[in-house]
Amino acid sequence: MSRILVTVGMGPWPFDRLIGAIAPLCADHEVFAQTGTATVRPPCPHRPFVSFSELQERIDAADVVITHAGNTVRLVQRAHKVPVAVARQAGLGEMGNDHQVHYLRMEEVNGPVMAVWDVTRLPEAIAAHGEQQSRLLRERPVEPAAMPGHIIETLDSLCARLVRSRDY
Amino acid sequence: MGDTRYRVLLVSSSGGVLLDLLALRPWWSRHGVSWIAVPAPDTTALLKDQRVHWEPEQSARRPLPMPAAVIRAVGVFIAARLVGIPALWLETFNIVDRPGIASRVCGKLAAAVLVQRPALLASWPRAVLLGELY
């Protein structure tokens, strides 16, 4: 039995396809789902939204995180874990565009992520997660985030140049 | 690092955009900051100590030519141009190739486009690489 966190982000589009697909996992694992605006209710503890601090605590405490292919993918990777990610699709009314699809297609080739394109295969992904996580963390290190000093220097320099030149 | 203190207006929806802007806190916390934000569970919680103009999502009476969030963002960029203030577009982390409609429109209106991936430097003539924000 694994401790599984499911999260679909804070956006206004329901992601019923993912939330509806976690039911088989709820029977065999300890699952908590952040469901957003989903119109289906999973058979496990769930809430529409959680605070950012709670989300981070739940990521740290989880054995596996199943997430939409939003920025949460990187948050999970920064916690030295490999997320199981499902991309929202515009054609299914899950997003305004397909940038999650493009992102996940790239990330599944280069990054430490397990992409799931057919949500009926989530149980298989969870079963394989432990072995896959060890391999992917070893083979695909994540680039470090920008340092605060770099952010400050870059933006101060940019703003000074723009204000001075009035080239905008 | 400069000593100039700017008045900075940050415009955000909920979700990843908000996290990206909050990750810029090391910079904007040194300046005078106010926000325009959509009320949502994450924005109301994470911006509770900030000076915020809340702009509710409005339901359209007739179909809009583009999403309301895009219309809001474009309006801000046009207003900035009219009053002569440089406006920056921050490309979110999980945009990897084809920009969405908001990026395409606002990126063209922006004085600079802040990107988190080196590969996106070629996408915009005024791109500036910040690196991954978190």
Instruction: Please answer whether residues B68 and B58 qualify as being in contact, where contact means their C-beta atoms are separated by less than 8 angstroms.
Output: yes
CB contact under 8 A, B97 and A102: yes
Over residues B38-77, the pLDDT tens digits come to 888 889 999 999 999 998 766 545 555 556 667 778 889 9
- Edge-first strand order for the sheet with A30-34 is A46-47, A30-34, A3-7, A64-68, A84-86, A114-115
The confidence band for B15, taking pLDDT boundaries of 50, 70 and 90, is: confident
Looking at mean pLDDT, say which of A146-155, A157-166, B90-99 comes out highest.
A146-155
Q: Where are the domains of chain B?
A: 1-57, 67-90+97-134
Give the lowest-confidence range in A58-67, A89-98, A150-159.
Answer: A89-98
CA-CA distance, A87 to A101, in Å (whole number)?
A: 5
Q: Which residues of chain A does B109 touch, with a Cβ-Cβ cutoff of 8 Å?
A: none
| A143: its two tokens | 């680039």
Over residues A76-109, the pLDDT tens digits come to 999 999 999 999 999 999 988 899 999 999 999 9
Candidate from B86, B100, B131 with C-beta closest to A150? B131
Which candidate, B92, B100, B112, places its Cα nearest to that of B22? B92
Write the CB contacts of B118 (distance below 8 Å, at least 6 apart in sequence): B129
Over residues B83-95, the pLDDT tens digits come to 999 999 999 888 8
CA-CA distance, A94 to A100, in Å (whole number)?
A: 10
The answer to whether B52 faces chain A, any CB pair under 8 Å, is: no
Over residues A115-141, the pLDDT tens digits come to 999 999 999 999 999 999 999 999 999
The answer to whether B117 faces chain A, any CB pair under 8 Å, is: no
Question: If you search the block for the tokens 């929202």, which residue do you land on?
Answer: A88
Strands annotated E in chain B:
7-12, 32-37, 52-54, 88-90, 112-115, 127-129
Q: Running DSSP on this structure, what letter comes out for residue A95? A: S
Write the CB contacts of A165 (distance below 8 Å, at least 6 apart in sequence): none
Candidate from A49, A52, A152 with C-beta closest to B1? A152
Strands annotated E in chain A:
3-7, 30-34, 46-47, 64-68, 84-86, 114-115
Helix (H), strand (E) at residue A138: helix A122-139
CB contact under 8 A, B4 and A145: no
CB contact under 8 A, B92 and A78: no
> Which domains, ranges and CATH numbers included, belong to chain A?
3-143 (3.40.50.2000)
Over residues A25-37, the pLDDT tens digits come to 999 999 999 999 9
Instruction: Please answer whether residues A21 and A4 qualify as being in contact, where contact means their C-beta atoms are separated by less than 8 angstroms.
Output: no
Q: Is the dihedral of CA B123, B128, B131, B134 positive or negative?
A: negative
Q: Which residues of chain B does A149 touch, with a Cβ-Cβ cutoff of 8 Å?
A: 26
pLDDT at B64: 52
Mutation choice for A interface testing from B6, B58, B94 by most A CBs within 10 A: B94
- The predicted complex's ipTM stands at 0.89
pLDDT at A123: 97
Write the CB contacts of B54 (distance below 8 Å, at least 6 apart in sequence): B37, B38, B39
